[in-house]
Structure 1
Amino acid sequence: MKKSFFKFLAKLNKVLLPSYTKKRLDLAKASKIQLAIIGWRYYVTTHAL
C-alpha cells in the first residue's frame, strides 16, 4: 500500500511540478524553493521504486 501511494504521488508530481532537468537548471544557481522541489521529487521517486 505504501509503495502504491508513492507511485501515485510520483505521477502527480510529474503533472503538477516543473521539471528542472528539461529546463537545464544549474543547481548552484537554484533558489531555495527550487531545491526543495527537487528534493521532494527525489524523495518520492526513491520511495516509489
Structure 2
Amino acid sequence: MKKSWFTFLAKLNKLLLPSFTKRRLDLSKAKKWQLAIVGWRYYVTTNALD
C-alpha cells in the first residue's frame, strides 16, 4: 500500500513539479522554495524505490 502510494506521488511529481537538474540548478545558490521541492522529490523517490 505504502509503496504504491509513493509510486503514484512520484509520477505526479514528474508531471507537475519542475526538474531542476535539467535547468542545471546550483544547490548552493537555490532559493528556499527550490530546496523544498528538491527535498520533497527526494523523499518521495526514495520511498517509491524501497
Q: TM-score range by the shorter chain?
A: over 0.9
Pairs aligned (count): 49
CA distance in 2: counterparts of 1:28 and 1:48, whole angstroms: 27
Identity %: 80
Tell me the C-alpha RMSD between the 2 structures: 0.2
Tell me the residue number matched to 2:42.
42
**Normalising by structure 1, what TM-score?**
0.99
Unaligned segments of structure 2, at least 5 residues? none
